[in-house]
Structure 1
């Protein structure tokens, strides 16, 4: 296992070596060969509004297509994100969806749904069935997404109705710990061919249930996506899309406490690692509904417009006992932090985009511009009490939430945060020569924050708090396509991020990135690869004032530099190899932290928590015969720090998996899959308590899938 980083690095270097030896065009007799695997000629999606392909975009762009999601066995969109270069995503309670990428975490990584930037709490992973693809763009991408995303952006794209007359698919899955899922999807034409107005509908539904490997943790989730595509005229179409998600988890798992002493490599009691120290009636629930109205209009052969109007409504409920720590001699576990909260969120907005192809002094050029308006309102209703209790980890009664003193007291709304964003953006690609192109973009945001305090008014917590920001962000990049199958690029981009505190008058924090890279095909188009090197700087975020520990000052700074490699190679007609590897060096340049004693210490030079220096993936897929396909996979994640002082570490881990698929006929296949073959004990995430948020042990799964 210790050698996997080297193996992943060697795999990543293979395409580079092959590139040096042999670069061949990807055309034969004027026709393009099949896509080699990295979707370099697919639309870059979230990376640009110009309709460019991944190859044409001077930025790190990776896409997990629907076929990739199915081949790699991704169960949630988090699993799909983890197949992309450098991404380490997990789903610890209270974080929605946590992502570490390019040395940054949390709000520095934007997670979008269908190109719409929403509250991070809504990014809790759900079943991958309703998603068509997951897109990743590296580095600052505020140009596309608005404020935030200094480290990068993930975009989860839902399946939509297509112009297929009829298509249907279904899947039944059963696995370890009574994990079961049922899913189906259908796309159908609602009108006869040749009708003046054409309508197509798609419906996807999935239901998942499981009894977790963690004691008493049970989950049930529903996902539904419906869309109606209407071709009103040959040039005008409208799509109505509705998505609904409902998740219910009983006695959620909040982590496994680490043993004392809490220094160096943190350890857990493996015998009791699946204990659930939450109360018996602990609860997590989430209900989310999306509605989108999308208009696509081709004004002429050179000009198109797109308008997306949307409404989002979400409600999340927590009721848990959340913090667990061993006593001094590790004989008992002290439980605390009884916390109940409801988050109610609503977001309404509109995105308008206009794209135009033209020429400028004889040079080909494409313009894209538009505006965005959105209002995001979130109200929280929290209540927490100490909830202290001590239990024997070998035998204990978990108790009930409302038996804890003071949990039955009434509580009301805390605050309502309303953020109104108005934005203008413009982007351009100019073909300087037939091989060299220039990409530029600029975005202006006007952001208004209005905080309403529903509790007792004090000098530090007024009834209303208002603040406005007007950041300008942008990007400039050059792409040189020196042969048809290979290019190099250089890019500079910037980002802006709202301050996390809402009670002090801070300006936005800023970020910038330099990146160089290449995207190419090799070995007569049987392989494709990407390589990128970058440096990111983020500054002016809030840190503790060393002169006044009760105050924050906007002087924080951090940086990261790294390399990312990805490749897909058809070694033989029957053997496919895919992999990626990422290395990052991330550190705080200026960061002060208030510790338990009340003192303020500098963390300059330290690595942020939950940031692995190396992440690698490798897949080998082999077609034994026309009906049989099998494969193996490996994932490596380097050790991470659990504290800002960098005195506590969580060990690295390597996961292996395998699958075997039998094609019953042209429509139906049966797949058996084993995850975590070696039954590795590992932490997906390190809580600050500190505690491990454990990943799944070895599990088995059998799936039957059919398509018509």
Structure 2
């Protein structure tokens, strides 16, 4: 079907082709493409704001830390922020609509991870960290293990930090990218200095749309970012960064029903009817829609040669809407699919924050000592507007579902009645230090003290499932509580040579016992404190081949205590006594063998277990101690090979392996391991114009991206994408 955007993109393609021809005519030859493999380009010399406020390099940091820069993101062909995670050892991810920020790291899921955006948490990461198009991403930082000392509650398994492009001093930028294929894209970057002044303006624009791989599902997304970097007196600078994101998915895919056994249950390896791959049972007018706006004001103030201050004020505004029928189950001997659980849901979230930091470089005796001190304040308010009808609604063909519509579903109307509002006031003080002890030794420490005040307001009448817990003497609809976590890190680094170091560290974190505080309800608020997590880690980092290669290894042990579990003596109660742990090893390496060949890879082994955990099954309390958490594989591995054949042609091959995962805490249902292969090619048509083609899932592997025993969420089949990239 003809659409206006098709003509628009075609015109853009014609413009790019004309520009390419012009550049070809003006260019006498193609400059050779070389990758500088000197020691200064080693990934271990990169800095990461997501692991410390002391501007430490990866080599100086006593922790497993991965930094993927813009060049890495483009080389791997990452389409969105979750795709970038393919380069982080041990991480698995998926984006089912109801929990699109599903990430698992070191044995823990998204409820126990911090997923930051420019160093900011909106404290609703499992939902708010929905993947966005990667065009506006400058780099991604991943810190493994307990890291509450950075941003407070919610980081037992690790911290992921997405950093977006803003105006900088890198010089003028003019770039347009046109994406072709099933996913069309038009993206542009523009940066300029204003006259002879040091004022810099930058604009980023991205528009993508196209059909997704399941029936009826289409997605459109727009990102617009603008930033202004202005010089102030005394060497200070101020950056104003604004960002608008909008995404809409029509008829979202919620999963593919698995085949049932003769008793109507599920056990063993997941089984599917191949004829149902790609079939979408959602209502035809189903949707997911999100609008997000960010505003940041960043003041950088050098107070002296040794002292520097930074202050950031930020605002986050998000509105998320769901209109879907979300559950599909095989019935009658796997001959029909039953549809149930209609949900109209709206999330209205606002976050305001202020963060101040002061860094100071000094000497303690004859040894260098760097300090960071600061505060973190935020106000987070979220109201949910749920309307749900359980059904079931109908039974339909597994292969050609009968058309149905959301607003024709019995009991559903488009009305938004507030259910509950959670308000979080967070105030924190933090401090960090790195002191050189001599003889190659350095001590790295951090401490953070939070006060998290939570107010939960019930807008509806009390019921058995939504009782009058939300009660105070003065306000029968309001529940209040406060948490006071103290988290920290202590690490020791030993430089064995200029190219080789070893380290040891201990760190802590604090998480909600269940769910997230921005939506916490009855069962996870009453009589509960935050869970406590701690990690011990040993590791080593080194460079080789005159800096052209680098490698890291880490072993760790993480324990999280006081999870919410069913009371073994009273199944109607939940008590905070559960425990979960993980032990593992991570390896990563990168080697620029020559100016033409680049090899990289990573391997992670995780042994995750419930040490003490019980749940109610059929009216009885059953222990799950010794079992593996759902969706956590034992082994995750990846490798990539890039070959610059000549000045114009580059080829790449990448491979990813994810081991067997369990779908339930009983460990009775699982999905087998899977492997994905990708191919890429880059052709430089002129000095300014480049064409890139990528094939994902080359072997068309059918795999489950997110497991459960009700509705597994399948990963995408083979896909091909191509772009024209013009820079001048």
TM-score (norm 2): 0.90
Alignment of 1:565-604 (within 5 A): 565-595=587-617, 597-604=618-625
Q: Which residue of 1 aligns with 2:151?
A: 145
Task: Tell me what 1:17 maps to.
Answer: none
Q: How does 1:253-292 map to 2 (within 5 A)?
A: 253-261=253-261, 262-292=266-296
Deviation at 1:32, TM superposition (A): 9.9
Q: Which residue of 2 is the match for residue 548 of structure 1?
A: 570
Deviation at 1:44, TM superposition (A): 2.1
CA 1:410 to 1:159, structure 2 compared with 1: closer, same or farther past 3 Å?
Answer: closer
After superposing the two structures, state which structure 1 stretch, 279-288 or 661-670, moved more: 661-670
2:626 maps to 605
Alpha-carbon distance in structure 2 between the residues aligned to 1:110 and 1:328: 43
- Taking the aligned partners of 2:444 and 2:709, their CA distance within structure 1 comes to 42
Mapped partners of 2:708, 2:380: distance in 1: 29
Match of 1:213 in 2: 213
Alignment RMSD (CA, Å): 1.4
Inter-partner Cα distance in structure 2 for 1:276 and 1:32: 48
Matched residue SS, 1:635: strand
Q: Secondary structure at the match of 1:245?
A: strand
Q: 1: distance between equivalents of 2:444 and 2:183?
A: 47
Alpha-carbon separation, structure 1, partners of 2:714 and 2:452 = 39
Which residue of structure 2 lines up, in the alignment, with residue 129 of structure 1? 135
Partner of residue 713 from structure 2, selected from 674, 693, 700? 693
Q: What does the per-residue CA deviation read over 1:338-393, in whole Å, with 9 as the maximum and x for residues that have no partner?
A: 01110000000100000000011222100001001001101000010023111111
Residue in structure 1 matched with residue 178 of structure 2 by the alignment:
172
Give the TM-score of the pair, scaled to structure 1. Answer: 0.93
Task: Name the SS of the counterpart of 2:698 in structure 1.
Answer: coil
How far apart are the structure 2 equivalents of 1:410 and 1:186? Answer: 42
Aligned positions of 1:611-630 closer than 5 A: 611-630=632-651
- Matched residue SS, 1:40: helix
- For residues 514-567 of structure 1, what are the alpha-carbon distances to aligned partners after superposition, in whole Å with 9 as ceiling and x for unaligned? 000011101222210111000000001211112221211000100000001111
1:309-334 deviations in whole A, cap 9, x for unaligned? 00110000001000111114111111
* Alpha-carbon distance in structure 1 between the residues aligned to 2:187 and 2:37: 35
- CA shift, 1:113, in A, is 0.3
Does residue 584 of structure 2 align to residue 562 of structure 1? yes
CA distance in 2, matches of 1:417, 1:468: 13
1:416 paired residue number: 421
SS, match of residue 74 in structure 2: helix
Whole-angstrom CA distance in 1 between matches of 2:542 and 2:169: 32
Contact 1:36 1:527 in 2 (8 A): no
For 1:281 and 1:684, locate their aligned partners in 2 and report how far apart those are by CA, in whole Å: 25
- Structure-2 change in CA distance of 1:34 and 1:187 (3 Å): farther
Displacement of 1:623 after TM fit? 1.1
1:447-495 CA deviation, whole Å, 9 max, x = no partner?
1000111001453453110011111111000000110011000000011
Unaligned stretches of 5+ residues in structure 2: 1-35, 472-476, 515-519
Match of 2:335 in 1: 331
Instruction: Find the aligned partners of 1:239 and 1:434 in 2 and give their Cα distance.
Output: 40
Deviation of 1:34 after TM superposition, in Å, equals 4.3
The residue correspondences of 1:52-67 to structure 2 (distance < 5 A) are 52-67=56-71
Question: Contact (CA 8 Å) 1:164, 1:187: kept in 2 or not?
Answer: no
CA contact (8 A) 1:44 1:57 kept: no
- More divergent stretch after superposition (579-588 vs 407-416): 407-416
Structure 1 CA distance, aligned partners of 2:172 and 2:548?
A: 33
Distance 1:183-1:32 versus aligned 2 partners, 3 A rule: closer
The Cα shift of 1:502 comes to 3.8
Map of 1:154 onto structure 2 = 160
**466-475 vs 80-89, which deviates more?**
80-89
Counting matched residue pairs gives 669
Local SS of the residue matching 1:70: helix
> The residue matched to 1:367 in structure 2 has which SS?
strand
Residues 267 and 395 of structure 1: CA distance in aligned 2, closer, same or farther (over 3 Å): same
**Does 2:410 correspond to 1:405?**
yes
Could you say which residue in structure 2 is the equivalent of 1:447? 452
Equivalent pair of 2:513/2:562 in contact (CA under 8 Å): no
Match of 1:9 in 2: none
**Matched-pair contact (CA < 8 Å) for 1:517–1:531:** yes
The yes-or-no answer on 1:477 pairing with 2:491 is: yes
